[in-house]
């Protein structure tokens, strides 16, 4: 029977509302939800092609053990037994979960509870480590919490929007549409794009600053010094709500324009113009994404940006604030349930005994993890050297997406016991699994996701579960029950999981913790089914309301103040005589992650059919490469073969290659095989934007 269901797009962190319609013949069509506050009816190319990705081609439809079909009981018993045996013999830190920002919050919650509360290890990390963990670390250093202060509306209300390390037009297209519409209706609004490449986003910019790779800290430290010297800082805000201004200023005060120009590759005139524009515009939003986060200095970059907003008091007011744009549809939900190895559930801190005690009591946990677990890169190193002997991977494809991807593949292949939960049978990762568990995909599963502006929305099922596929939260709860934790994993529905998650967020929360959705602690199935998109926080006894954080201080460090962080402006140049080009990886407009879904749509694949390397004309001439020639790109870690795309949008001396293609879609297109396992020392996020490579005509 025909039906219409309101749900949420499963791709990027904008989190657009979608209306899915199933007609009498079972055909699905989608359109944007005009009532959803993230998109007001808009969809981008990926969202509008969702119905084209729902066929069952390639789907994993029943559990498998060692390549043969198995029943759920047999498969789940085996997973529970092998994890229990490994833990009994080698301890809880000998097992790990590697999960995903594609999981729904309910899946994430149960995974985190099982690993951190009942197995007794914090070895659960997520592909969100590759996406926004530097933003999390920067927020926590500055605010004492992982809080995004603003809302999408701020991009429309601002008089200056600074986009740094963000190709908004391709990576958050609906937010870009909102910004472009606002600028069209208020042409006096200014947009500055800071990116080594002249991306499509730069086409609406009043100023494009093609800074040198990884010189963002230098640029924002220079801005901070300029604001302080020119008297543009807000002394009242600094005195009332912050600490550490003098130390942070001391770290930047000696920088002069000539030095900044040398570090950033920008002219002194460009620097002066940008600094002056920021100084003289009250309503400024600075948006940052993977170009900031995916760096060995990602956390410092985030704090350099936040320093400028704290110094001017431009935070938490309409049209003002630093704004981290998450890549994945539920990176934020994962943060809320503690899906990162260094966090606890409900934005609590695993390194604080008082927080561990709170979670232990709430869960009745017998073995709450006492220390942070292994972050993604270290986790796969531990798999490689045999410290981790049982690994459960859910909804992600690390053999394509992790840095040093060949080494990750070798590690997974050699691991004694690997479980993969996925919707597809043949991914680069799934082929190394001992046990395959069929999961539900978009349109089949029920749960919640949180977008970049802290808005929680429902994903709703409108299709029957195919074959024997089951939700991820159910698989985890079943294994928890079979490991002897029946009472703690007795959830019968995602609504029950969400209610428990909400109750924990409000448990002994007197307002000193940012994440509180205690109003939903007693939600029943009917209310859950009807849940409208809402922004957190929503404490017990309150109605949903839009709010911003920190306009009047109220930070989450113990003294209630924000912390300026003194950050180092030095720039590491990785290119060298042997590997003279700087490789920058990223996304294209019409594909998502490793293309396991968007690759099914002929329309999306028509936009860009093959992996490519953007190369500047002078570099192409030096290499005797013509447009569409094949190029070999190599680093000490791996090599890829891609087509040349000659363009002046690319800075001389650097190459851009998208991260989507795997060896299924294009032979040797797996660019993450070239990325070294270099990480930010604070966040553990890999540096995927500044890789030294050499390039030749193939």
Q: How far is the CB of 328 from ligand SF4 (least distance, A)?
A: 10
Q: How far is the CB of 135 from ligand SF4 (least distance, A)?
A: 18
Residue range at the interface with ligand SF4 (CB under 6 A); choices 37-45, 72-80, 141-149, 244-252: 37-45
User: Does residue 574 touch ligand SF4 according to CB under 6 A?
Assistant: no
CA angle centred on 405, ends 400 and 406, rounded to 5°: 115
Q: How far is the CB of 324 from ligand SF4 (least distance, A)?
A: 16
Q: Phi-psi bin for 635: left (phi > 0), alpha (psi -120 to 50), beta?
A: beta
Q: Which is nearer to ligand SF4, 9 or 225 (CB)?
A: 9
Q: Phi-psi bin for 194: left (phi > 0), alpha (psi -120 to 50), beta?
A: beta
Q: Phi-psi bin for 235: left (phi > 0), alpha (psi -120 to 50), beta?
A: alpha
Which residues ranging from 141 to 180 are in contact with ligand SF4 (CB under 6 A)?
Answer: 172-174
Cα–Cα distances (Å) from 59 to 53, 107, 296, 406, 696, in that order, read 11, 20, 37, 25, 38
Q: How far is the CB of 16 from ligand SF4 (least distance, A)?
A: 3
Q: How far is the CB of 46 from ligand SF4 (least distance, A)?
A: 4
Q: Which is nearer to ligand SF4, 558 or 602 (CB)?
A: 602
Q: Which is nearer to ligand SF4, 39 or 199 (CB)?
A: 39
19, 20, 22, 43: which one contacts ligand SF4 (CB under 6 A)?
Answer: 43
Q: Which is nearer to ligand SF4, 32 or 92 (CB)?
A: 32
Q: How far is the CB of 47 from ligand SF4 (least distance, A)?
A: 2
Q: How far is the CB of 488 from ligand SF4 (least distance, A)?
A: 33
Residue range at the interface with ligand SF4 (CB under 6 A); choices 6-14, 519-527, 679-687, 689-697: 6-14
Q: Find out whether the peptide bond into 537 is cis, omega within 30 degrees of 0.
A: yes
Query: What CA–CA distance (Å, rounded) separates 321 from 452?
Result: 14
Residue 407 sits at φ, ψ, to 5 deg, of: -65, -35
44, 111, 344, 521: which one contacts ligand SF4 (CB under 6 A)?
Answer: 44
Q: Which is nearer to ligand SF4, 44 or 391 (CB)?
A: 44
Grouping H, G, I as helix, E, B as strand and the rest as coil, residue 332 is: helix
Q: Which is nearest to 443 in space by CA: 131, 62, 104, 108? A: 104
Residue range at the interface with ligand SF4 (CB under 6 A); choices 36-44, 480-488, 607-615, 654-662: 36-44
Determine how β-strand 417-422 pairs with β-strand 124-126: unpaired
Which residues ranging from 244 to 283 are in contact with ligand SF4 (CB under 6 A)?
Answer: none
Q: What is the DSSP code string of 462-530? A: -SPPPTT-B-HHHHHHHHHHHTT-TGGG---SHHHHHHHHHHHHHTT--S-SS---GGGTT--HHHHHT
Which residues ranging from 387 to 446 are in contact with ligand SF4 (CB under 6 A)?
Answer: none
Residue 16 sits at φ, ψ, to 5 deg, of: -70, 145
**455: which strand partners?**
535
Q: Which is nearest to 562 in space by CA: 189, 207, 271, 139? A: 139
Q: How far is the CB of 43 from ligand SF4 (least distance, A)?
A: 4
Q: Which residues of 112-137 are buried (b: 16+ CB within 10 A; e: fewer)?
A: bbbbbbbbbbbbbbbbbbbbbbbbbb
Count of residues making up the chain: 698
Q: How many residues bind ligand SF4 (CB under 6 A)?
A: 14
Cβ-proximal residue to ligand SF4, closest one: 47
Residue range at the interface with ligand SF4 (CB under 6 A); choices 42-50, 86-94, 96-104, 362-370: 42-50
37, 47, 222, 638: which one contacts ligand SF4 (CB under 6 A)?
Answer: 47
Q: Which is nearer to ligand SF4, 7 or 688 (CB)?
A: 7
Residue 179 sits at φ, ψ, to 5 deg, of: -65, -45
Grouping H, G, I as helix, E, B as strand and the rest as coil, residue 64 is: strand
Query: What CA–CA distance (Å, rounded) separates 345 from 337?
Result: 4
Q: Which is nearer to ligand SF4, 94 or 326 (CB)?
A: 326
Q: How far is the CB of 30 from ligand SF4 (least distance, A)?
A: 9
Q: How far is the CB of 14 from ligand SF4 (least distance, A)?
A: 4
Q: How far is the CB of 32 from ligand SF4 (least distance, A)?
A: 7
Q: How far is the CB of 467 from ligand SF4 (least distance, A)?
A: 26
Query: What CA–CA distance (Å, rounded) separates 333 from 501?
Result: 11
Which residues ranging from 7 to 26 are in contact with ligand SF4 (CB under 6 A)?
Answer: 9, 11-12, 14-16
Residues in contact with ligand SF4 by CB under 6 A are 9, 11-12, 14-16, 39, 43-44, 46-47, 172-174
């Amino acid at each position: 029977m025909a039906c219409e269901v309101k749900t949420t797009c499963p791709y990027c962190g904008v989190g657009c509302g979608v209306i899915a319609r199933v007609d009498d013949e079972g055909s699905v069509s989608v359109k944007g939800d005009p009532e959803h506050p993230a998109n007001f009816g808009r969809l981008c190319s990926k969202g509008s092609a969702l119905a084209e990705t729902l066929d069952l081609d390639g789907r994993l439809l029943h559990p498998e053990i060692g390549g043969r079909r198995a029943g759920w009981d047999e498969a789940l018993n085996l997973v529970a037994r092998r994890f229990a045996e490994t833990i009994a013999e080698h301890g809880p830190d000998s097992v790990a979960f590697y999960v995903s920002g594609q999981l729904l919050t309910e899946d994430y919650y149960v995974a985190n509870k099982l690993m951190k509360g009942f197995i007794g290890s914090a070895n659960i990390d997520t592909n969100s480590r590759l996406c926004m963990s530097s933003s999390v670390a920067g927020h926590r250093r500055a605010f004492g919490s992982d809080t995004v202060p603003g809302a999408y509306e701020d991009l429309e209300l601002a008089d200056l929007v600074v986009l740094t390390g963000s190709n908004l037009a391709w990576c958050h297209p609906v937010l870009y549409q909102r910004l472009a519409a606002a600028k069209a209706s208020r042409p006096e609004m200014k947009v500055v794009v800071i990116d080594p490449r002249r991306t499509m986003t730069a086409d609406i910019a009043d100023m494009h600053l093609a800074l040198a790779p990884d010189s963002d800290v230098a640029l924002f430290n220079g801005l901070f010094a300029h604001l302080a010297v020119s008297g543009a800082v807000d002394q009242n805000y600094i005195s009332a709500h912050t600490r550490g201004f003098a130390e942070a200023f001391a770290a930047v005060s000696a920088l002069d324009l000539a030095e900044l120009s040398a570090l950033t590759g920008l002219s002194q005139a460009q620097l002066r113009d940008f600094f002056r524009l920021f100084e003289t515009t009250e309503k400024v939003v600075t948006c940052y994404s993977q170009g900031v986060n995916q760096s060995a200095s990602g956390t410092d970059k985030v704090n350099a940006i936040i320093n400028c907003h704290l110094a001017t008091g431009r935070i938490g007011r309409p049209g003002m604030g630093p704004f981290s744009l998450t890549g994945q549809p539920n990176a934020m939900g994962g943060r809320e349930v503690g899906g990162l190895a260094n966090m606890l559930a409900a934005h609590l801190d695993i390194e604080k005994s008082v927080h561990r005690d709170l979670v232990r009591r709430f869960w009745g946990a017998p073995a709450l993890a006492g220390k942070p677990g292994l972050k993604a890169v270290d986790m796969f190193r531990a798999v490689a050297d045999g410290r981790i002997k049982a690994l459960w991977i859910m909804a992600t494809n690390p053999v394509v997406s992790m840095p040093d991807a060949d080494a990750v593949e070798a590690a997974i292949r050699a691991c004694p016991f690997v479980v993969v939960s996925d919707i597809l049978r043949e991914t680069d990762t799934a082929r190394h699994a001992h046990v395959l568990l069929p999961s539900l995909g978009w349109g089949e599963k029920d749960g919640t996701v949180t977008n970049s502006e802290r808005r929680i929305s429902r994903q709703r099922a409108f299709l029957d579960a195919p074959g024997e596929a089951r939700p991820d939260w159910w698989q985890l709860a079943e294994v928890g029950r079979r490991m002897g934790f029946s009472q703690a994993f007795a959830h019968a529905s995602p609504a029950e999981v969400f209610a428990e998650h909400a109750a924990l967020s409000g448990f002994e929360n007197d307002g000193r913790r940012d994440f509180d959705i205690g109003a939903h602690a007693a939600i029943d199935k009917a209310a859950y089914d009807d849940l409208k998109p809402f922004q957190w926080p929503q404490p017990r006894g309150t109605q949903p309301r839009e709010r911003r954080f920190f306009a009047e201080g109220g930070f989450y460090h113990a003294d209630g103040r924000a912390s300026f962080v003194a950050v180092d402006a030095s720039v590491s140049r990785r290119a060298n005589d042997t590997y003279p080009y700087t490789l920058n990886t990223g996304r294209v407009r019409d594909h998502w992650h490793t293309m396991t879904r968007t690759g099914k749509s002929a329309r999306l694949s028509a936009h860009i059919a093959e992996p490519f390397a953007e190369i500047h004309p002078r570099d192409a001439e030096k290499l005797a490469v013509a447009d569409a020639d094949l190029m070999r790109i190599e680093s000490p870690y791996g090599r890829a073969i891609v087509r040349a795309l000659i363009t002046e949008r690319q800075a001389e001396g650097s190459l851009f290659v998208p991260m989507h293609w795997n060896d299924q879609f294009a032979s040797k297109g797996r660019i993450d095989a070239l990325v070294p396992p270099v990480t930010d020392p604070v966040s553990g996020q890999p540096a995927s934007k500044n890789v030294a490579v050499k390039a030749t005509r193939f």
